[in-house]
Amino acid sequence: MLFVDPAEMQAAGDVARLGQAVGANQRLYELMVNFAAYTGLRWGELIALTAGQISQAERVVTVDGKVVEVRGHLFAEAPKNRKRRRTIYPRTTPAGWPLAEKAAARIAEVAVEQASGRNPQGLMFPTPAGKHALARTVSHELAAEGRRPSYS
């Protein structure tokens, strides 16, 4: 595992505000924002993430794949540079958000969704149909609610 210089990270307050803004539209988005910010997962890795890749006891995520979009179609492939890696996440974010608790609750929800057939792959952040999300879909949902986040 690699050390990330704190100067290279977004300010905790910025991440918290973004999570709250998008979380007002869809509950999973707040977890998605915080999980991405504190694990370092890229978009394709995040939408390919399954509950089975997360070790709750160690708070470790195994990154062994990603999803890429080509002309509106999604394809699964190896992670960037074909390097499988592991990353960790904190129990609580610097802004005090209970990341490990929220991730554990989501993992339990995924098990129920998977058992009912609504999320066959066990995705952590699926569409309502249980499939991989497109970046533009998430963006459109936020824009429709008037909540397009500012990244400046």
Domain spans, the chain? 11-144
- pLDDT band for position 82 (50/70/90)? confident
In this prediction, residue 72 carries a pLDDT of: 76
Three-state DSSP string of 61-122: EEECCEEEEECCEEEEECCHHHCCEEEECCCCCCCCCCHHHHHHHHHHHHHHHHHHCCCCCC
- Helix 12-23 / helix 27-39 crossing angle, nearest 10 deg: 160
At residue 127's C-alpha, the angle toward residues 121 and 51, to 5°, is 35
Query: How far, in Å, are 2, 36, 65, 102 from residue 109 at the CA level?
Result: 30, 19, 22, 11
In this prediction, residue 130 carries a pLDDT of: 85
Alpha-carbon span 101 to 108, nearest angstrom: 11
Q: Region 77-106: what's the mean pLDDT?
A: 90
In this prediction, residue 24 carries a pLDDT of: 46
pLDDT at 129 over 60: yes
What are the structure tokens assigned to 135, written together?
């970046």
> Which residues, listed in sequence order, are joined to residue 66 by a DSSP beta bridge?
77
What does the pLDDT look like over 39-79, one tens digit per residue? 999 989 999 999 999 999 999 999 999 988 888 788 887 77
- pLDDT band for position 132 (50/70/90)? confident
Write out the H or E segment, with its range, that includes residue 47: helix 43-48
Quick one: 33 exposed, middle or buried, by C-beta within 10 A (0-12, 13-18, 19+)? buried
What does the pLDDT look like over 8-37, one tens digit per residue? 556 666 666 665 655 544 678 889 989 999
- What is the CATH number assigned to the segment(s) 11-144? 1.10.443.10
In this prediction, residue 152 carries a pLDDT of: 35
